[in-house]
Amino acid sequence: MKCQILLIVAFLVISSRGTSQNLLLELKEDIIDEIHRLFKTYILGDYFYGEQTVEDVITENGTTYDFIVIGSGPSGSVMANRLSEIPEWKILLIEAGEDPSLITDVPVLSCGTLLWTGYNWGYRAEKQDGFCRGCPGQTMNWPHGKVLGGTTIINYMLFTRGNHLDYDKWADMGNPGWSYKEVLPYFLKFEDAHLEKIDRGYHRKGGYLSVSDVPIRSKAIDVYIDAAQEAGHPYVDYNGKNQMGVSYVQTALRKGRRHSADKAFLRPVRHRGNLVITTKSTAVEILIHPDTKEAYGVKYVKNYVEYTAVAKKEVILSAGSLNSPQVLMLSGIGPKEHLKELGIPVKRDLPVGQKMYDHVTFPGVIYVVNETITYSLEEIILNLHKYIYEYLFYGKGVLTTAGFVEGFTYIKTNASQDPNPNYPDMELIFAGATFSTIRGLLYRDFFNIPKYVYDVMWKPLEHKNAYQVTVSIVEKKMEKMFEKKNNCDKFMFSDYTYADPENHDIKTVIAAIREIQRINSQPSLRKYGATIVTTKIPGCEEYTFDTDEYWECGIRTLTATLVHQVATCKMGPHNDKEAVVDAKLRVHGIKNLRVVDTSVIPMPITAHLMAPGYMIGEKGADIVKERWLSNH
């Protein structure tokens, strides 16, 4: 198979030099499907596994550490790094996945495309009644990283901190220390900024994580930004003084390559003798003394063998918004009635997993233009040898694109329920390409688009110049979830629904679509004949295109998630009946146990979760250090 893969790559490169141009551009559908299968099975699958750089650590049963960190996503990697700065402390980092492979470095190949590999837990939601009607099985993908570096290995690398008001609201909810003024220093602490247009005082150089502009941009994003400004949206640094407006995306890239939590925070400190990293190790229970309610260790499974590690000081749970509530419930911390149903002894009755917010998105707004200002598969193929060379030697070219996502516009629609004019309710995500640009090979699966829908909506655009603007709602969106089975390898959901009983969210998304149309009607885009694609979404044929009724049908048919689940281990004071942890991230009623990841975020925020995840790790590490270094 190795020879076959190399032959495919060689064929593409040779073809890109013009020797087989017509053959490549006229690939028949069955050949495209076979390339899709090979790509998913081998290029993104087990073929590239085994490039391990972490020693396969197997510790003796009962080994004692000062701190045990569960999960190596953005928060967990920061915790492991910062706690191991104290040479007297011994740290164990437990990660269920393995070391990432070389393919994860290449943005265009790894942004949202690794769903079919072992790097993703493979979670899906329950069948939806009111939404996701056109999704496979009417269920939604919930990608969640199972690899050293967590979801920062499989996401789109988009770096957004959120609005100042997000964090001020956290503090107002009874969480002292979490206002924007108080968390901004932690955002700055880890950042190494390589950005052109920024607000002074809101970025810094020298931190662990590289935050960069994408090295390549289509002409379409330049034109779109001009049009957005013509429509009244100012150009902003959305991680700076004001979030409301349009801008190019900021990403976690370092010299054109993915800069993950592993690369940023773990690889630089793996030489530390007091940091032990064990991969392919699944935490199945936090050990809690039944009388003192004190966490004292972790039980985990590695190579089908169960091990126990002891924590002298604390256990830090950083497994993310889906796995952290799961581990808590498997440890006896959760809703008592639910735990009793599962036969799990109740250590602490807490509303774990009872609250969840998510950012729902609609990818069905597509435009065509009459000039090649968007990305083009034909152009990529013809110049593939150049792009490979640029990527390998200079970290530039089309291989560095973050899944073709190029710009954000944060807006406030007339359907917003928040009166503050500086707080957006919608995020418009501009991509200088569509799923059709690369014949549906990579990105349609991330957005849960089945092939029959692709064939109707996107396949006719395969040889056209097209782009799309994805709509994401950032105001409140509530769901409920419960751990359903006592099984560490499965994560099932019940009583879970994308509920919108008053149609407020639907109205907000439609209002955002109207704003997209207004932006695209501006002179800068009219110059290129920007025209909305009027092909009807399958299942919505009975409605007149562009009516509110049509768009509501479309939104309920093509429903996707940006994987921004929060509040499953909600942060709040002891009198908050929904809270699981307090403002110091301590689990209510359990000693020496904290949850440090995005599951503690108490409300939906106007951000992609990677940046807040790093910030929570930085602040959490300081909270832990303050306790143990001050001897309180």
Report which of 141, 608, 563, 580 is spatially closest to residue 325, judged by C-alpha positions: 580
Angle between helices 384-394 and 2-16 (to 10 degrees): 110
Examine the residue annotation and report whether 203 is marked as an active-site residue of this protein.
no
608 as an active site residue: the answer is yes
Which of 144, 164, 203, 608 is catalytic? The answer is 608
Distances from the Cα of 247 to the Cαs of 195, 397, 413, 493, in angstroms? 12, 20, 18, 37
- The one-letter amino acid code at 462 reads E
* Strand ranges inside 12-167, DSSP E: 63-70, 91-94, 123-124, 141-142
3-state SS track over 444-507: CCCCCCCHHHHHHHCHHHCCCEEEEEEEEECCCCEECCCCCCCCCCCCCCCCCCCCCCCCHHHH
429: buried, middle or exposed (CB in 10 Å: 19+, 13-18, 0-12)?
buried
Distance CA 272, CA 81 (A): 9
User: Is 64 annotated among the ligand-binding residues?
Assistant: no
Q: Of 36, 564, 574, 632, which one is the catalytic site residue?
A: 564
Contact 75, 318 (CB under 8 A): yes
How many separate helices (H) and strands (E) can be counted in the chain? Answer: 18, 26
The span from the CA of 585 to the CA of 589, in Å, is 12
Rg (CA), the chain: 24
Tell me the three state secondary structure of residue 629: helix
Q: % helix / strand / coil in the chain, to the nearest 5? A: 35, 20, 50
Sorted by sequence, the CB contacts under 8 Å of residue 31 that are 6+ apart come out as: none
Task: Please choose, from the candidates 322, 385, 337, 345, the residue with its C-alpha nearest in 3D space to the C-alpha of residue 564.
Answer: 322
Determine if residue 139 is labeled as part of a ligand binding site: no
Q: Which residue has the tokens 């902003």?
A: 236
Half-sphere exposure of 167 (CA within 13 A, CB side): 19
The token duo for 245 is 């407006």
- Cα distance between the two ends of the chain: 59
Is 264 within 8 Å of 280 (Cβ atoms)? no
Known binding residues for FAD: 147, 151
Query: Which residues are marked as active site?
Result: 564, 608
